[in-house]
Amino acid sequence: MSHYEAPIREPLVLGDKSYHDITEDIAKPIEGKANKNWYIAFYISLAAMLWGFGCIFYTVGTGIGVWGLNKNIGWAWDITNFVWWVGIGHAGTLISAVLLLFRQKWRMAINRSAEAMTIFAVFQAGLFPIIHMGRPWNGYWVLPIPNQFGSLWVNFNSPLLWDVFAISTYLSVSLVFWWTGLLPDFAMIRDRAVKPFQKKIYALLSFGWSGRAKDWQRFEEVSLVLAGLATPLVLSVHTIVSMDFATSINPGWHSTIFPPYFVAGAIFSGFAMVQTLLGIMRKVTNMEDYITRMHVEYMNIVIILTGGIVAVAYATEFFIAWYTGSPYENYTYLSVGAATGPYAWAFYSLLFFNILTPQILWFKKIRRSFIWSFIISIFINIGMWFERFDIIAIVLSKGHLPSTWWRFEPTFVDVGIFIGTIGFFFVLFLLYARTFPVIAQAEVKTILKSSGEFYKKRSEQGIPTKPAIKIANLEGESDKKDKE
């Protein structure tokens, strides 16, 4: 535990925590009772979720006609929401896998929640391709399973099929990665659990983690392997999602820069969502010492970078639309046609939320401010939703033949389903916050500085060094367990 702390680096964990303090802090939300705020948030989310489910049942029971789509605009909020949620899901893998490979220790405070967010977001995303189908009950036909329908097979040319593979791979790898990280933490909860039922559940969830050196060794190996596997997924998932558009022939969709631009956009929006969630979580679960200004600042730096890439992509799109000289490119989502057309408000919303807003993060004061980061993160979430809406709705609203130009207006069902997925997302996240260790405590403990400085400080302040003994006790206990 001789962690060297460079004097110019800020500490990753504040508040002079001991190992035991960390355990206590992380276990508190799980072992304690939920406060009023949690219940309020939960019930609101639950209501939204149920409303959304109602809208989904209505859609499936009646027909896609209950949405605002029409003969010329075959997708709108459905695929907008799908891409938005998939994009949000991107930060999790980036934080847990890429930053792990780059040995970025600051990820440890946020990776658990970021990954949880990823998985919950992918759940929401996955809903849309299913419910947007005219006949969702036949949705399994998109899976290449042997069947008795004759010689029918899926169409491997279709980007939608690639989506099926990309999303399902992403979800399963993310889930495994997340769960692997959770094992020692679940074991910690299990060991502390008093109620037999709770103990049983956490025993199951921890897959019999025993804390032996061999466990830890395998844990490290698996983490590294999974990180290696997950890293290409960061690039592949949104690349493939972007191909839904890029391989089509619609002006504005048919664009070769879509893959990198979508990946950057996804990380941009993913980090924004992590900011939003952690901004709430650090307050609600008293994790201020673990999720610090430094974490916020680092994430903001990623946001500035990816936001910059996105801005360059927008400029390129605008330039190319003009540079082609093709009259068919006059009305792409980033063009003069869009800026002067009926969707000008969406066009300018995109520019405001996604290009202008992140720029104020160049000011150090703002990017280290919790409240500013929170507000900006919400703006970016909105902006990234508009980006997808603009790409889909504006492009489809001005197709090749002017006779087919039309507009889209959502119905209450469109809105209801979107709100429902937000509700569903928060229901999952709130349940997670009450039942899962929200910070990877086992990992955080590895970066805790536990030198003599710690004890010295404590004795100077007159605090008894009891915790250290307790840790010893704890370790003794687990030793005992091993012997059993």
Partner 1 sequence: MASNKKYWQSVEELKGSSIVETLSKKEFVEEIPTDDFLGDKETLENSSTSRRDFLKYVGFTTAAASLAACEGPVRKAIPYVVKPNDVTPGVADWYATSMADGYDFANVLVKTREGRPIQIMPNKDANGTTSARVQAAVLSLYDEKLRLQEPSKGGATITWSDADKEIAAKLNELKEANKPVVLLTGTMASPSTSKIVEEFIAAYPNISHVVYDAVSESGAADAMLAMYGKRTLPNYHLDKAKTIVSFGADFLGDFHGGFEKQYIAGRKPETGDMSYHIQFESNMSLTGANSDKRLVLKPSDQVFALLNLYNIITGSNVPSKTTSVDADVNAAAKSLQKAGAKGVVLTGLNDKNAQLVALAINKALNSEIIDVNNTLNVRQGNDTEVAQLVSDMKSGKVAGLISYNVNPIYSLSNSSDFSEGLKKVELSVALSIENNETVDASTFALPTPHFLESWGDTQFDQVTYGLMQPTIQPLFNTRQIQDVLLKWTGNSVSYYEYLKGFALTNVLNGASWNTALHNGFHKKEILEVEETTVSDIVISDVASQLLKSTKASAFELNLYTKTGLGDGKQANNPWLQEFPDPLTRASWDNYLTMSIADARALGFANPVKDNGAINGDYAKVSVNGKELVVPVMVQPGQAKGSVGLALGYGRTFGLKDEMKVGVNAYTLYTNGNNIQYNVSIEKVSGTHKFACTQVQKTIAGRHDILKVATLKEYNSSADPKHSWNKPAFVSYDHNEVEASTINIWDEHNREIGHHFNLSIDLTSCTGCGACVVACHAENNVPVVGKNEVRVGRDMHWLRIDRYYSSEVETREEAKELGLSRGDTYRALETEAENPEVTFQPMMCQHCNHAPCETVCPVAATSHGRQGQNQMAYNRCVGTRYCANNCPYRVRRFNWFNYSNNNEFDFNMNNEYGKMVLNPDVVVRSRGVMEKCSMCIQMTQVTILKAKREGRAVDTDEFETACSSACTTGAMVFGDVNNEKDQVATLAKDKRAYHVLDYLQTKPNVVYQVKVRNTNEA
- Which residues form the interface with partner 1 (CB under 8 A)? 62-65, 68-75, 129, 132-136, 138-139, 141-142, 149, 152-155, 157-161, 164, 244, 247-250, 327-328, 330-331, 336-337, 339-342, 396, 399-409
Distances (CA, A) of 239 to 23, 166, 233: 40, 9, 9
Tokens of residue 375, six digits: 């507000």
Residues 6+ apart with CB under 8 A from 341: 331, 347, 394, 398
Q: Of 70 and 180, which has the nearer Cβ to partner 1?
A: 70
Q: Choose between 71 and 214: whose C-beta lies nearer to partner 1.
A: 71
CB of 230 to partner 1, least distance (A): 25
Q: Toward partner 1, which CB reaches closer, 4 or 345?
A: 345
Query: Considering the complex, what minimum distance in angstroms separates the CB of residue 173 from partner 1?
Result: 22
Separation between Cα atoms, residue 404 and residue 407, nearest integer Å: 10
3-state secondary structure (DSSP) of residue 247: coil
Q: How far is the CB of 326 from partner 1 (least distance, A)?
A: 8
Measured from the CB atom, the residue of 79 and 428 that comes closer to partner 1 is 79
Report the candidate in 473, 445, 462 with the shortest Cα–Cα distance to residue 3: 445
Q: How far is the CB of 74 from partner 1 (least distance, A)?
A: 3
Closest distance to partner 1 from the beta carbon of 240 (Å): 13
For the chain, first and last CA: distance in Å? Answer: 28
Q: How would you class 447 by CB atoms within 10 Å of its CB: exposed for 0-12, middle for 13-18, buried for 19 or more?
A: middle
Residue 18 C-beta: closest distance to partner 1, Å: 55
- Residue-by-residue DSSP string for 175-198: HHHHHHHHHHHHHHHHHH--SHHH
Nearer to partner 1 by Cβ, of 325 and 452: the residue is 325
Work out how close the CB of 362 gets to partner 1 at its nearest, in angstroms, rounded to a whole number: 31
* Of residues 78, 54, 82, 86, the one with CA closest to residue 134: 78
Closest C-alpha among 298, 253, 223 to residue 83? 253
Among residues 7 and 61, whose Cβ is nearest to partner 1? Answer: 61
As a whole number of angstroms, the longest Cα–Cα distance in the chain is 81
Lookup: tokens for 475: 């370790």
Taking the least distance from each CB to partner 1, the nearer of 134 and 146 is: 134
